[in-house]
Structure 1
Amino acid sequence: MDLRLSPDDRVDGGPQRKARGQRAQAGSGSNGPKGGKPRRPQNRKVKKKRSGGMRFIVGFAYFCFTMLLLGGVAVAGIVVYYGQDLGSSSTWEVPQRPPNIRVLASNGQLLTNRGQTGGEAVGIHELPPYVGQAVVASEDRRFYSHFGVDPIGLASVGIEMIRAGGITRGASTITQQVAKNLFLTPDQTLGRKVQEALLAVWLEQNYSKDQILELYLNRVHFGSGSTGIEAAAQTYFGISARNLSLGQAAMLAGILPAPSYYNPRTHPDRAAERQRLALANMVREGYITEQEAHAAAQNMDANITTERVAGTEYYVADWVESLMNDYLGEVNEDVVVSTTLDWDMQKQAEFVIKEAVASQGEDLDFSQAAFVAMDTEGRVRALVGGVDYSQSSYNRAVTSRRQPGSAFKPFVYLAALQQGYTPDTLMVDEPLDYEGWQPENSNGRYVGPVLLRDALAFSINTVSARLAIDIGPENVVETAYRMGFSTNFQPVPSIALGTQEVSLLELTSAYAPFANGGYGVVPNVITRITTTDGEVLFEETPAGPGRILTDEQVGMMNDMLQTGVQAGTGTRAQLGNWPMAGKTGTTQRNRDALFVGYTASLVGGVWLGNDDDTPTRVFGGQIPAQIWRDIMAEAHEGLQSAALPGNYVKLQDRVAVPMQDTMPATGTPVTIDQIQGQPGQQPAPLPQQQIQPQQQQPVAVPADDGIGGLLNGLFGE
C-alpha cells in the first residue's frame, strides 16, 4: 500500500502550490531538479567573517563591562551591608559639640576655658580667610570641587602606594575626616571606610562647603589637649583664633597630620618645616604669593608661647564649672562666665602663699595652703586652693573640710551675746570636767577670772567650753547656721573648740556679717553668664538672708575681735592704720593653722597644713596671720580707710570695787580681789565644781589693767 502523500493531499496543496512548483521548474533552466544545483538568490548579502583583532576588542569590552557590572553589584552589596549599621539617613544628625565654658576675671581677662575641648567654637566668618585656606591647601586641595569623596585623589594615592609597595598617606577628604570625627571610631577597617564615604556624601548633600569646613576646624584635634582652632590658638600662641597671623595659621594647618610629632613646643624645627610646606601649598593653589609666604615664615619661634603654667586661677575655674548645673541646668552650648575674681589680688595671693610654703614650709612641717578673700557682700575676690595646681587640683579652699579650731570660737561667743552676755562679762578660766569631757588650754595653764573680751582675744579654751555648756550647744549650732555655715553640725559641747569640720570658704563668709553691719551673705563667684552671642542666661541679683545681727551685737563682736589683733593672738595680722579684726585658729597637734580677719572692705581666711593630716609646727597667729597681712596690705592700697561697723561702747574706766558675784552656770564665788594681780602672776585656781546650766543673767564686772599683761604673758604667741 502506498502511503505517500500527493500534493493534493496537503493542507496547502492545490492549483496554487502546483503553479508555484511549475514556475520554479521553469526558472531552473539546465540546473533544475534534473541534476543541477539551485542558484543562490541574487538579492541576499554575503556575510564576512570578523578579523581576529576585532573579536578580541569586542570580547575585551564585553569582559570589562561584565566585570564592571559585577564590581558595581559587589560594591553595592558592600555599601548596603555596612550601611545598614548606620540606620536610616533620615535619623542622621551632626552630634552637638561638647560645650565650652569661657571663664573671665572681673576685668574681662580670660582665666581659662573649661570643657572637653579646651576652647569655644568659632564661626568660619569670624576667622581670617587664610585660616581656612591653609587647611584646604594642606589637607584637601579639591575640597570645593568634589562631592565628599575625591576619586582623583584616591587614584593618585593608589598609584603612589603601588609604586612604593606600601601605604604612603591617607586619602580622606576634609568631609570624610569630619564624618569620621563626628560619627565613627578611628578603626582602619573596610567597613569603617565605607561608612565614612557614605556619611561624607550625606554631609555634602545637607551642608555647605563652608559649614563643613567650620565643623572641621572646630572638631579637629591639634595636640596638647586642644580640640578646635580656638583652643589651638590659645594653647600655642596665647591668642584667639580670630587674631591668628598667616604664619600661625599655616603652622596649625601643617601639624594636623601628626599633632604630637609636629608639636610646636616640643618639636619647633619640625613644626617650622610643616609651616613652610603649608605656605608652599597655599602658593601652589594661588591663595598667597611667594613674597607673602616668605614673610609669614619669619620669626615664628617668637610667636610660640611656652606651656602655660596652671596658676591658682584654675582652682576658681574648676569651682565655676562645678556650679554650672546649679545656675543653668545642663549646659548644652558654649557660654561665657564673668566672675567676681580680682586678677591682681589673685596673683598677689598666689605669690605670697607660694613664697611662704617654699621658704618656711620645710622647716615648720607644712606643705599646703589655702586662701579665700571676699568683699563684705560675699563676692569672692581671690581664691587659692593649693600651692601648685599642676601638682594637685584638689581645692583646699572649697572642697576640703578641716577643723577650724579656735577660729570657730567667735560664733560661740556670738551665741552667748544673743543670750545676754557682753564682752565685759566675767568668766573663770579653770580646769573643767563636764560629764567626762575635760577640755584644756593649749599651754596647760589657767588664769582664773577673765572677761569675755580677753578670753576670746587670747583664745582660752575652757571659757569657750563653759559658754557652750551654759547656753546649750544647740544654740551655738543655730547661730552658726544663721551666720551661713552649711555643715551638718552636731550639738555637742566640743563644738566650742572648733572640732567639727568646715570648709575655709564657709568659715570666711561666716565672718562677713561682722564686717558689713550684720547682714548674712552667700559666697558668690559668678556675676553673669551669657552665650557667645551675648544672650544673657544669668545675671547676679542680691542674695542672702538679710539682716541677722543687731548693731549692738556687731559692735560687741568687733570689740572682742579687734582686741584679738591689737593685743591677743593675732597681732601679726595688724594692717597699719586700717581698723581690722580677726581670730586665729590652731587645731590639736597643730594639724591645722588658720587666721580669719576682716576690715570694712574685705574679709579673708588663710589655712596651712598637710593633706595627710600630719602635725605641723605652725600656730594660727604666726604664718597664717602674716600671709593675711601681706595679701591684704596690697589689696587695700588706694582704698579709703573705714571703721568697723557696730554700736557698742566698752567700759573705759575700770574701778576696783570690792564686790562679790556668782558666775553663770557654775555657782563659783568670785571677788574683785581675785582678778587683781601683777602681770604674769597666776591666780590660784578656784575649786572645780560640776557644771549645771542655770538660767541666770551674767553680770559685767570691771577689771584692772593688769589682766591684759597677765593674759599676754600666759597665752600670747
Structure 2
Amino acid sequence: MSDWFFKRGRRDGIDWMALDSRLDSSVSEFWSRAKDIWDAGSSFFARFKLTGGKRLVTEAASEGFTLAVGGFFVLYALALPAFLDFDEGRFLTGQYSVKFLDAGGNEIGQRGILHNDAVPLEEIPDSVIKATLATEDRRFFEHFGIDVLGTARALVENLRANDVVQGGSSLSQQLAKNLFLSSERSLDRKIKEAFLALLLETRFTKREILKLYLDRAYLGGGAFGVEAASQFYFGKSVREVNLAEAALMAGLYKAPTKYAPHINLPASRARTNEVLQNLIEAGFYTTAQVHEARLHPAQIVETRATTSPDWFLDWAFEEVQRLTEGKNQYVLTARTTVDLAMQKQADEALVTFLKQRGRSLRINSGALVAMEPDGAVRALVGGPDYGESQFNRATHARRQPGSSFKIYVYAAALENGYKPDTVVRDASRSCGRWHPQNYGGSHGGGGRMPLWMALAKSLNTVAAELSFAVGREKVIELTQRLGITGIRKSCSMALGDYGITPLEHTGGLATFVNGGKSARPFGILDVVNSRGEMVYSRERDEPEPAQIVPLNVAEGMNQMMRRVVTDGTAQQASLDFTNVIGKTGTSSGPKDVWFVGATGKYVGSVWLGNDDNRPMAGGNTGGHLAAPLWHSFMSVAHRDMNIPNIPGLEPHPVQAAEAQRIAEFKRANPTAAADADGSKTVSPTMTAQARDALKRITTALRKAAGVAEPTTTPQPTPIDGRPAAPGVTPRGNRAERAPPLGSSSALASQSGAPFPPSPAGIP
C-alpha cells in the first residue's frame, strides 16, 4: 500500500494535506476536459445556425414533432382499454336465451334475450332503415365513425336547453356500446366508445355496421334486434311492418323501457310522432306520406301469458345460468320442476290473503315456497304483484326468521347429545349486556320441562341457552351444511337475528323431512342446447344426496316439530288428513312473520311483512297469520292421499286407515286392484275418516277454483251397506264418479300415486 495516504513515519495517521491535493487536482482536471468537450460541440453545431423564416419553420416542426410524439402516447394510453375490449367473438349472442318447459315437456315461458338476425338487410323494409337513420344518425353514410358536426350540433342544442335533449353519438358509436360496453354515463366509457367506433369503421363496411346495429340494438321486452322486436310487439316478421310500426320501433332505441308501448302507451305514441317528424325533416318522407301513419298508429299484441309462472321462471333463469356457466351455450331449453296447478294456487293464496287482510294488518308483501322433500321446487311466489315489482322476495329477500330459526339451534343440540325429552330450564345466562326474554317480556321463570315442550312454546330463553351450551359455531356450521348462508355469530343468533330467504329456509327444513339427506332447492331437471344436445341433466350430473344430518337427529326434530303443531304455537297449521310439522317465527316489531312447515309430501314456507321494513299491526305472530295461510294453501295442494310418512312419526290415522283399506281391497279384488294400478280409474269406497277429510279438501278446491258447491242431496247407500263417497252415485253393482269440476280432473291425473287416488269425487 502506498504511504502517501499516511503521514511520513507514522503508520497510524492520515495525511490530510496529500488527500486534499489529490481531490483538488482531480476535480480541476475533470472540469477542464468538460469545457473542452462543450466548446468542441458548440463549434460543430454553430455551422447549422438558422435565422429568419428557416428558423421559424424548423422551430415549428420541432415543436410539432414533440407534441405528436406526446399525443401518440396519450392516445395509445386512452385507446388501449378500448382495444382490449374489442372481441369479435362477442358479436354472437353472448347472453342467455332460455325456453322453459314443465316436467311434461310443455312450454311455459321464456327468459333472457329474444334475438333473431335471420332477416338480411335487403329484406328489411325501407321504412325501418330510414326511420332508424332519421332518428339516430342522419349522416351515417358521410362520417368516419364519429359525427363531428352532429356532436357539435347536439352540444349546442343541449347548452341552449340547459339539458340533455339530443345525443351526439353516431350509429357506429351506439353499436360499439351495445356490443362491448355498459350503459354507464362516464367519460371513460365515452372515450372507449369513440375508439371502438373508429375500429369498427376500419373492420366493416357501412352496410355491415348498419345490419349489426339493426340486429343488436335492444328494443325492450327482452328483444334484441328489429326482427325479434317485431315478433314481440306485433306478432309478425319485420318484413311485414308498416310505416307506423317502423316508427314505433325506431323510437325505442333511445329508451326502450321508457317508450315501450306495453309499459307506457301514451309515451310510446308521442315518441312515434317524433320519429315521423324526423322522417320529414330528414327529407326521407313527405308530410302527406306520414299522415296515414299518424292517423292509424301501430297496434301491439299481448305477448305475456296471464298464467305464466313468472316468479318461478325468474329464479329458474338464474339457475340455468349457474348450471351452464363456462360451457359457452346460450340458446337453451330447460325442463323444470314447477307444478303449474300448485303455482296458481300459491299465487292465489298469497294475493287473496293480502287483499282481504293486508290493509288492516298493515302488511303489503309476502312470499311462499313449496317443494318436495328432495328439494324439487313445485311453486314459488316472490311477491303480491309481478307486474308492479319483479323483485323476487322468495329468493333474494333476506328477512329475519325470528323463532323459526330455532329448529337449527335445536337440531345442533340433538347432534350434541340432547334428546327430545331432555329436561331443560326456562332460563338463560346473559351475553354481554344482552339478556334473552320470552314473548311477553319475562326473562324465564326457571321452570323445568322437556326439550320438545320448550320448542312447542317457543321459549327464547331455552333457545339462547342451547346456543351457548352447544356452541354458536356449531349452529352456524349446521346451517351451512343445510345450504343457509349469511348467518353470523351473535348473542341473539338463536332468535333469528340475521336474514334468511324463504327458499333457503324451506330447503333447510326439507332435510329433516327426508331423513337427513341434503335437500338443496332445485328447479331444473335438464337443459339442452339449440342442437338438441344435453348440456345438463340433474340425474346424470348431480351426485346422490349426501346424509348431512344423522337420521336419529332428523327423526327427533320431526317429533318435536310435530308437537309445535299439535300442542304449541302452530296449531292453526294442522291438517285433518296428514301429519304436519313446522315452526312459527316472529321478528321484533313485528316486522316479519313466518311459518315453515311440512307434510310427508310437501315442504313449504310463508313469509309476510313489508318491503320497506315497516312494522305491521302489533300483536301479530307467525302462528296467527303465516300458519293459517300455509294451512289454506296446503289444503288444496294435496290432491290425493299418496302422502309418504314423515320419518320418526307414526302414520296419521287417516293415512293408516287408507293404507289398510287399499291393502284389503287388493287382497279381496286382485284383478280390480291390478286394473286400478294400471289405469288409475277404479277407487273403492274409502273409510269414513278419509272421506270426511277429503271432503274438506274438495270444498277448499272448489272455493279456490271459484266453483259453487253442488246442491245437497240425500246420499244413496250402495249394496254393501256403507255410505257412498261424496260425488258417487250407485248404478247397479258399481259406483260411478260424478263429473270433474273445472280443470281439476287434470290435476288428479297428474298425481304419481302408486294406487288410484282414493278421494272419489274430488275435482
Same fold, TM-score > 0.5, yes or no: yes
Q: Aligned to 2:378, what secondary structure does the other structure show? A: strand
What is the one-letter code of the residue matched to 1:601?
K
TM-score (norm 2): 0.54
- Maintained 8 Å contact 1:404/1:501: yes
> What is the distance in 2 between the residues matched to 1:608 and 1:519?
29
- Deviation at residue 178 of structure 1 after TM alignment: 7.7
Unaligned runs of 5+ in 2: 1-75, 134-139, 143-169, 184-192, 277-295, 652-763
For the 8 Å contact 2:121–2:211, the answer to whether it is kept is no
Structure 2 partner of 1:631: 633
Stretch of structure 1 that moved more, 195-204 or 544-553:
195-204
Equivalent residues in 2 for 1:207-606 (5 A)? 215=212, 217-220=214-217, 222=219, 226-229=223-226, 231-233=228-230, 235-237=232-234, 244=237, 252-259=245-252, 265-266=265-266, 304-305=301-302, 313=310, 316-317=313-314, 320-321=317-318, 324=321, 327-329=324-326, 333-389=330-386, 391-423=388-420, 425-434=421-430, 438-443=435-440, 444=442, 446=445, 448-490=447-489, 494-540=492-538, 541-543=541-543, 546-606=546-606
- Farther-moved stretch of structure 1 (250-259 vs 513-522): 250-259
Distance 1:232 1:342, change over 3 A: farther
Distance 2:312 2:342 in 1: 15
Q: Give the aligned residue type for 1:400.
A: A
Tell me, in whole angstroms, the C-alpha distance in 1 between the residues paired with 2:387 and 2:411: 40
When residues 504 and 255 of structure 1 are mapped into structure 2, their CA distance, relative to the original with a 3 A threshold, is closer
Cα distance, 1:491 vs. partner? 7.1
* Alpha-carbon separation, structure 1, partners of 2:532 and 2:314: 20
Query: Residue 621 of structure 2 aligns with which residue?
Result: 619
- CA distance, structure 2, for counterparts of residue 266 and residue 559 of structure 1: 60
- 8 Å CA contact 1:310–1:389 kept in 2: the answer is no
Distance verdict in 2 for CA 1:548–1:129, change over 3 Å: same
Change (3 A) 1:176 1:372: closer
3-state secondary structure, aligned to 1:613: coil
CA distance in 1, matches of 2:215, 2:515: 50
Q: 1:649 Cα deviation (Å)?
A: 6.5
Higher relative contact order (CA 8 A, sep 6+): 1
* C-alpha distance in 1 between matches for 2:594 and 2:397: 14
- State the secondary structure of the residue aligned to 1:629: helix
Q: Would you say the 8 A contact 2:374–2:519 is kept in 1?
A: yes
List per-residue Cα deviations over 1:157-196 (Å, max 9, x = no partner): xxxxxxxxxxxxxxxx9999989987999xxxxxx99x99
1:343-394: CA deviation from partner (whole Å, max 9, x where unpaired):
4433433333233233322322323212222222223333333334555544
TM-score scaled by structure 1? Answer: 0.57
- Residue 626 of structure 1, CA deviation: 2.4
Give the direction of change, closer, same or farther, for the CA distance of 1:307–1:533 in structure 2 (3 Å limit).
Answer: closer
Counterpart CA distance in 2 for 1:176 and 1:418 is 62
Counterpart for residue 12 of structure 1: none
Q: How big is the shift at 1:236?
A: 1.9
One-letter amino acid of the counterpart of residue 587, structure 2 = T
Deviates more, 1:498-507 or 1:425-434: 425-434
Task: Provide closer, same or farther for how the CA distance between residues 132 and 644 of structure 1 changes in structure 2, counting only shifts above 3 A.
Answer: farther
Q: Distance in 2 between matches of 1:457 and 1:383?
A: 28
Q: What does residue 96 of structure 2 align with?
A: 101
Check 1:608–1:228 CA distance in 2 against 1; reply closer, same or farther (3 A cut).
same
8 Å contact kept, 2:593–2:621: yes
Q: Distance in 1 between matches of 2:323 and 2:303?
A: 35
- Deviation for aligned residue 1:490: 1.7
For these two proteins, the number of residue pairs brought into alignment is: 520
Structure 1 residue 274: Cα displacement: 13
Q: Distance in 1 between matches of 2:607 and 2:568?
A: 19
Q: Is the 8 A contact 1:465 1:497 kept in 2?
A: yes
Calculate percent identity across the aligned residue pairs.
31
Work out the CA distance in 1 between the residues paired with 2:227 and 2:412.
54
Return the alpha-carbon distance in structure 1 between the equivalents of residues 582 and 96 of structure 2: 36
Structure with larger Rg: 1
Once the two structures are TM-superposed, the CA of residue 442 in structure 1 deviates from its matched residue by 0.6
1:121 aligns with 2:118: no
| Unaligned 5+ runs, structure 1 | 1-83, 141-147, 151-172, 186-191, 277-298, 651-717
Relative to structure 1, the CA distance from residue 515 to residue 106 in structure 2 (aligned partners, 3 Å threshold; closer, same or farther) is farther
Tell me which residue corresponds to 2:41: none
